Amino acid sequence: MFSIPSLFRLDYRISMSTMRHMCACKNTTNNSTKNHPNDSVKIAAKKTYKRKLTTDGPDLFQFMASTGKTARNVKVHPEIPPYLDPASLRADGAKVYLDVYGCQMNVADTEVVLSVLESQGYVRTLNSNEADAWLLVTCSIRENAEDKIWKKLNYIKALKSHGKLSKNMSVGVLGCMAERLKTQLLEANNVVDIVAGPDSYKDLPRLLAVNRNTGQAAINVLLSQDETYSDLAPVRLSKDSVTAFLSIQRGCDNMCSYCIVPFTRGKERSRPIHTILDEVRALSDQGVKEITLLGQNVNSYRDVSERSLSMYTPRDSPATRKDFKTVYKTKEGGLRFVDLLDQVSLINPEIRIRFTSPHPKDFPSEVLYLIRDRRNICNSLHMPAQCGSDKVLELMRRGYTVQAYLDLIQNVREIIPGVALTSDFIVGFCGETEKEFERTIELVKTVKYTKCFMFAYSMREKTGAHRRLQDDVPEDEKKRRLNLLAKTFRQTAEELHKEYIGTTQKVLVTADSKRSSDDFQGTSEMGTKVIFPKLQVPDHNGILRQVVPGDYVNVVITETNSEIFKGTCTELTTLTNTESLQSRKEQYSASTF
Binding site for ligand SF4 (CB under 6 A): 102-103, 105-106, 139-141, 175-176, 260-261, 264-265
Closest approach, Cβ 270 to ligand SF4, in A, equals 16
Query: How far is 416 from 380, CA to CA, in rounded Å?
Result: 9
CA distance 154 to 496: 44
Q: Report what 105 binds from ligand SF4, ligand 5AD, none; CB cut-off 5-8 Å by kind.
A: ligand SF4
Among 460, 478, 481, 506, binds ligand 5AD (CB under 6 A): 460
- Site residues (CB under 6 A) for ligand 5AD, limited to 383-412: 384, 386
Compute the least distance from the CB of residue 459 to ligand 5AD, in Å. Answer: 7
Helices (H) and strands (E) in the chain, counts: 21, 24
Residue type for position 209: A
Distance CA 174, CA 195 (A): 6
Q: Which is nearer to ligand SF4, 110 or 380 (CB)?
A: 110
182 Cβ contact partners less than 8 Å away, ≥ 6 residues apart: 36, 39, 195, 219, 221
Residue 141 touches ligand 5AD, criterion: CB under 6 A: yes
The 8-class DSSP code of residue 377 comes to: B
Rounded least distance, CB 372 to ligand 5AD, Å: 25
CB of 255 to ligand 5AD, least distance (A): 12
Per partner kind, with CB cut-offs from 5 to 8 A, the member of ligand 5AD, ligand SF4, none near residue 29 is none
The amino acid that residue 406 corresponds to is L
Instruction: Find the shortest distance in angstroms from Cβ 570 to ligand 5AD.
Output: 37
Partner from ligand SF4, ligand 5AD, none contacting 176, C-beta within 5 to 8 A by type:
ligand SF4
- One residue of 426, 507, 531, 553 binding ligand 5AD per CB under 6 A: 426
CA pair distance 179, 266, nearest whole angstrom:
10
DSSP annotation string for 424-485: EEEES-TT--HHHHHHHHHHHHHH--SEEEEEE----TTSHHHHH----S-HHHHHHHHHHH
Residues in binding contact with ligand 5AD, number by CB under 6 A: 12
AA identity, residue 424: D
- Using CB under 6 A, pick the residue from 259, 378, 404, 420 that binds ligand 5AD: 259
Shortest CB 254 distance to ligand SF4, Å: 12
To ligand SF4, the closest distance from the beta carbon of 64 in angstroms equals 25
263 binds ligand 5AD (CB under 6 A): no
Quick one: 101 or 520, whose CB is closer to ligand SF4? 101
Pairing of strands 249-250, 243-247: unpaired
Please state, in angstroms and rounded to a whole number, the distance separating the CA atoms of residues 338 and 357: 15
Instruction: Please report which helix (H) or strand (E) contains residue 504, including its range.
Output: strand 504-512
The CB-nearest residue to ligand 5AD is 424
How many whole angstroms separate alpha carbon 186 and alpha carbon 207? 14
Question: Does 274 engage in binding with ligand 5AD (CB under 6 A)?
Answer: no
Helix runs in 141-188, H state only: 143-161, 176-181, 184-188
Angstrom CA distances, 518 to 114, 299, 531, 532, stand at: 34, 39, 10, 9
Stretch that binds ligand 5AD, among 48-56, 185-193, 270-278, 450-458 (CB under 6 A): 450-458
Query: Residue 197 or 334: which CB sits closer to ligand SF4?
Result: 197
Which of 587, 419, 566, 448 is CA-nearest to residue 502? 566
Rg (CA), the chain: 26
Query: Rounded to the nearest whole angstrom, what is the least distance from the CB of residue 70 to ligand 5AD in the complex?
Result: 29
Q: Which helix (H) or strand (E) holds 218?
A: strand 217-220
Strand 133-138 vs strand 123-125: parallel, antiparallel, or unpaired? unpaired
Mapping DSSP to helix (H, G, I), strand (E, B) and coil, where does residue 338 land? helix
DSSP letter at 517?
Answer: T
> Pattern of binders to ligand 5AD over 159-198, x per CB under 6 A?
----------------------------------------
Nearer to ligand 5AD, 212 or 460 (CB): 460
Q: How far is the CB of 427 from ligand 5AD (least distance, A)?
A: 9
Query: Shortest distance, CB of residue 173 to ligand SF4, whole angstroms?
Result: 12
- Residue 289 near which of ligand SF4, ligand 5AD, none (CB within 5-8 Å, type-dependent): none
- Identity of the residue, 137 or 420, whose beta carbon is nearer to ligand SF4 in the bound complex: 137
List residues near ligand 5AD by CB under 6 A.
141-142, 258-259, 384, 386, 424, 426, 455, 457-458, 460
